[in-house]
């Protein structure tokens, strides 16, 4: 546990050098991989050797290396790719976690975190949103297996980033229409993402600020990984915007990890705790079911059910009261 730093940055270095996409399905000689990565050959070989010890590469005769089944997920072009996550964790979360103790001591976000998405640089937006879109595809798939999204004819994904959630839903439900609502600095990347998925005719990107208001007229409103970014006051403002926009029969679907009343030493609970520590550095928090019930009630919603999924996300359904 203490030495976790090295695997995070070893994997990130491999992705930064594009090695997973260079190896693809082949065994490639270390020198050749280095030539294509435009990097120092002996060092690339040492990096590939390290990847072998992590179970991400296999060594073959002739100092050739290939990706393992697990290592394949580091490629950019495979289903379930986690390249975005590798970059986001290594570049954004990693340095900020060094300030976790300070965040705990003060009860405020980590000193180097500004906490405003509006002021993110284009490079930060690209790295963060690519990771979010990857996680959204996984969350949406798990959510669809546990909860009937087929009931909606129109969905607005509030703070939907590049549109990972709606990309999955639109592919699964051919009659659905869905839009993404997010800050103006996300528009360019989101439109490129939706176009790449062939969805530009069925999904629009709408720019705005979700604390001020969100568009009316959808029968489903989705919030994935939004409420956990904020303390209760700002989370309430976001929920109130949704509440004002929603007709009486509309449904709010929140996709978040729900903290159990009692945490144990298990992989699933560790994932939730990791998310909570990340939110501590960021200035937000993961919440229990009761905390979500209260937060939603204060904004004029009744929490109707919490549906667990096979992933770490739960579907929290709420209706306007």
Residues that bind ligand SAM (CB under 6 A): 117, 132-133, 136, 159-161, 164, 182-183, 186, 209-211, 224-226, 229
If the CB atoms of residues 12 and 85 are measured against ligand SAM, the closer one turns out to be 85
If the CB atoms of residues 20 and 160 are measured against ligand SAM, the closer one turns out to be 160
Residue 87 tokens, joined? 């970059």
Closest separation between CB of residue 178 and ligand SAM, Å?
A: 13
Helices assigned H by DSSP within the chain: 4-16, 19-23, 30-37, 41-53, 83-88, 94-97, 100-106, 122-146, 164-172, 187-196, 232-245, 267-282, 289-298
If the CB atoms of residues 57 and 314 are measured against ligand SAM, the closer one turns out to be 314
Distances (CA, A) of 271 to 100, 219, 259, 266, 277: 17, 32, 10, 9, 10
Residue 281 is classified by DSSP as H
Distances (CA, A) of 127 to 91, 116, 133, 172, 194: 8, 16, 10, 26, 17
Closest separation between CB of residue 36 and ligand SAM, Å?
A: 32
The answer to whether residues 128 and 310 touch, using CB atoms and an 8 Å cutoff, is no
If the CB atoms of residues 33 and 132 are measured against ligand SAM, the closer one turns out to be 132
Look-up of token digits 């029968």: 219
Closest separation between CB of residue 209 and ligand SAM, Å?
A: 4
Residue 124 tokens, joined? 């930060």
d(CA 17, CA 38): 8
Closest separation between CB of residue 183 and ligand SAM, Å?
A: 5
If the CB atoms of residues 71 and 161 are measured against ligand SAM, the closer one turns out to be 161
d(CA 225, CA 234): 14
Residue 235 main-chain phi, psi, to 5 deg: -60, -40
The answer to whether residues 256 and 316 touch, using CB atoms and an 8 Å cutoff, is yes
Helix 164-172 / helix 187-196 crossing angle, nearest 10 deg? 30
Closest separation between CB of residue 221 and ligand SAM, Å?
A: 12
If the CB atoms of residues 45 and 256 are measured against ligand SAM, the closer one turns out to be 256
d(CA 253, CA 76): 30
If the CB atoms of residues 71 and 284 are measured against ligand SAM, the closer one turns out to be 284
Closest separation between CB of residue 189 and ligand SAM, Å?
A: 10
If the CB atoms of residues 71 and 275 are measured against ligand SAM, the closer one turns out to be 275
Closest separation between CB of residue 290 and ligand SAM, Å?
A: 23
Closest separation between CB of residue 210 and ligand SAM, Å?
A: 4
């Amino acid at each position: 546990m203490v030495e976790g730093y090295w695997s995070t940055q070893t994997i990130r270095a491999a992705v930064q050098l594009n090695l997973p996409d260079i190896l693809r399905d082949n065994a490639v000689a270390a020198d050749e991989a280095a030539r294509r990565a435009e990097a120092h050959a002996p060092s690339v070989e040492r990096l590939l050797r390290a990847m072998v010890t992590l179970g991400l590469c296999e060594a073959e005769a002739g100092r050739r290396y290939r990706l393992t089944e697990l290592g394949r997920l580091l490629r950019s072009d495979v289903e379930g790719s986690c390249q975005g996550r590798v970059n986001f964790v290594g570049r954004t979360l990693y340095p900020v976690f060094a300030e976790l103790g300070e965040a705990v001591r003060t009860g405020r976000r980590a000193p180097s975190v500004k906490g405003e998405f509006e002021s993110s640089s284009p490079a930060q937006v690209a790295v963060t949103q690519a990771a979010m879109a990857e996680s959204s595809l996984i969350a949406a798939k798990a959510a669809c297996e546990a909860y009937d999204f087929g009931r909606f004819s129109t969905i607005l994904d509030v703070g939907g980033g590049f549109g990972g959630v709606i990309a999955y839903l639109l592919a699964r439900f051919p009659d659905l229409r869905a839009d993404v609502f997010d800050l103006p600095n996300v528009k360019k990347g989101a439109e490129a993402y939706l176009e790449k998925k062939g969805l530009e005719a069925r999904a629009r990107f709408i720019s705005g600020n979700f604390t001020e208001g969100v568009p009316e007229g959808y029968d489903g409103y989705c919030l994935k990984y939004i409420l956990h970014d904020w303390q209760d006051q700002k989370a309430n403002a976001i929920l109130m915007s949704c509440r004002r926009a929603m007709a009486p029969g509309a449904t709010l679907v929140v996709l978040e990890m729900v903290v159990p009343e009692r945490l144990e030493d298990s992989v699933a609970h560790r994932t939730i705790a990791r998310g909570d520590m990340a939110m501590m550095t960021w200035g937000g928090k993961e919440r229990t079911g009761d905390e979500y019930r209260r937060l939603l009630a204060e904004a004029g919603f009744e929490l109707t059910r919490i549906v667990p999924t096979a992933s770490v996300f739960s579907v929290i359904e709420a209706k306007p009261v």
